[in-house]
């Protein structure tokens, strides 16, 4: 209703594309906004309520029909593998690509994926069934060398390699070449946290401390707080409180109830607590801010 589709987000780091959730219609929306499904290397599902994963079988089937050969990593709760296995068994489908499933856990922060550019961890949310959030943290890449300094000194290859890795280098004569002298300052590392369905849980701040961009569900307004508690969801005000106590730099609100045709009141409610709040809108790209953004 109100032109809103079910949850699905694409997060891009360099040429790496991650899909968070896969509600109904996800592959249609990917094509509509020219986010090529074929570029997605990993999919993360927070929990097994249909509005968060019912588009998955269609997407996986389309990959098969297009003869995908690249492996696909899938992270999700216990039972998701059984759902997929049952479907593909009864549809007599043997996928053309390797689907590598990793079961998520609600036991604290768990590292799921290591990549040269970033890492992805899960953490527990407080919902009616086992549910996890996801934290994506950027890693330091190779340092950028100061060209003028290199021209002044004839550094051995070993020194250049060490400096690019962010390590000072000491040669056989006892001369030390420091990263701070030969490399540009490294850009601030970015982080993104995704909190799908959850009741109000201030303890989440232990996983979200200092996050640059926080997506947090804001299903209801404060006037419907009782309904939010009954359904293990949050209000816009509560989402803003989580952002504030976590020291987040920016809050992205989402997962709105269809009872609110106009979302401006939800945004205003959040901004009274956390001014740097905005509404998640379909088809919009949100850069991850840094301390200097």
63 burial via Cβ count (<10 Å: 0-12, 13-18, 19+):
buried
The pLDDT of residue 87 is above 70: yes
Helix ranges (H only) for the chain are 26-32, 56-65, 80-90, 147-152, 157-164, 179-182, 205-208, 225-230, 236-246, 264-271
Distance CA 254, CA 197 (A): 10
Q: Does domain 9-141+186-279 have CATH number 3.60.15.10?
A: yes
Active site residue 173: no
pLDDT in tens, 247-258: 999 999 999 999
**Mean pLDDT, all residues of the chain:** 93
**Residue 136 pairs with which residues in a beta bridge?**
120, 192
**Position with higher pLDDT, 194 vs 117:** 194
259: how many CB neighbours lie within 10 A of its CB? 12
What's the mean pLDDT in 191-205? 97
The pLDDT of residue 12 is above 50: yes
The pLDDT of residue 292 is above 50: no
Distance CA 50, CA 288 (A): 28
Can you tell me which residue has the tokens 């330091």? Answer: 140
Can you tell me which residue has the tokens 């992270």? Answer: 75
Question: Where along the chain do its domains lie?
Answer: 9-141+186-279, 147-182
pLDDT for 40 equals: 97
pLDDT in tens, 31-60: 999 999 999 999 999 999 999 999 999 999
Q: In the structure, what pLDDT confidence band is assigned to residue 228 with cuts at 50, 70 and 90?
A: very high
pLDDT for 293 equals: 43
Residue 61 tokens, joined:
């089937």
Distance CA 88, CA 57 (A): 9
* Contacts for 62 with CB less than 8 Å, ≥ 6 apart: 27, 37
What's the mean pLDDT in 209-238? 97
pLDDT for 162 equals: 86
What's the mean pLDDT in 171-197? 88
The pLDDT of residue 150 is above 80: no
51, 81, 168, 224: the active-site residue: 51
The pLDDT of residue 63 is above 60: yes
182 burial via Cβ count (<10 Å: 0-12, 13-18, 19+):
buried
Q: Minimal CA–CA distance to 74: which of 135, 19, 153, 1?
A: 19
The pLDDT of residue 232 is above 90: yes
**Residue 122 pairs with which residues in a beta bridge?**
110, 134
The pLDDT of residue 68 is above 70: yes
pLDDT for 190 equals: 94
pLDDT for 3 equals: 63
The pLDDT of residue 291 is above 70: no
């Amino acid at each position: 209703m109100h032109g809103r589709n079910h949850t699905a987000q694409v997060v891009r780091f360099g040429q790496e594309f991650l899909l968070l959730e896969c509600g109904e219609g996800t592959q249609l929306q990917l094509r509509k906004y020219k986010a090529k499904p074929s570029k997605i290397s990993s999919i993360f599902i927070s929990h097994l309520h249909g509005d968060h994963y019912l588009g998955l079988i269609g997407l996986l089937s389309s990959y098969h029909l297009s003869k995908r050969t690249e492996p696909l990593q899938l992270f999700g709760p216990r039972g998701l593998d059984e759902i997929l296995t049952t479907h593909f068994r009864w549809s007599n489908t043997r996928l053309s690509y390797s689907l590598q499933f990793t079961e998520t856990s609600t036991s604290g922060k768990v590292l799921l994926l290591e990549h040269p550019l970033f890492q992805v961890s899960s953490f527990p949310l407080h919902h009616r069934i086992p549910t996890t959030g996801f934290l994506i943290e950027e890693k330091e890449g190779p340092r950028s060398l100061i060209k003028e300094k290199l021209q002044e000194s004839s550094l051995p290859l070993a020194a250049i390699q060490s400096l690019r890795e962010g390590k000072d280098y000491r040669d056989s004569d006892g001369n030390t070449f420091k990263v701070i002298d030969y490399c540009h300052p490294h850009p601030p590392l970015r982080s993104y946290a995704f909190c799908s369905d959850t009741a109000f849980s201030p303890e989440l701040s232990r996983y979200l401390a200092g996050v640059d961009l926080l997506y947090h569900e804001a299903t209801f307004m404060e006037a419907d707080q009782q309904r939010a508690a009954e359904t293990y969801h949050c209000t816009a005000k509560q989402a803003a409180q989580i952002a504030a106590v976590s020291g987040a730099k920016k809050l992205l609100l989402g997962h709105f109830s269809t009872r609110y045709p106009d979302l401006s009141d939800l945004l205003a409610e959040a901004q009274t607590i956390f001014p740097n709040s905005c509404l998640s809108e379909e088809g919009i790209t949100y850069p991850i801010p840094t301390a200097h953004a």
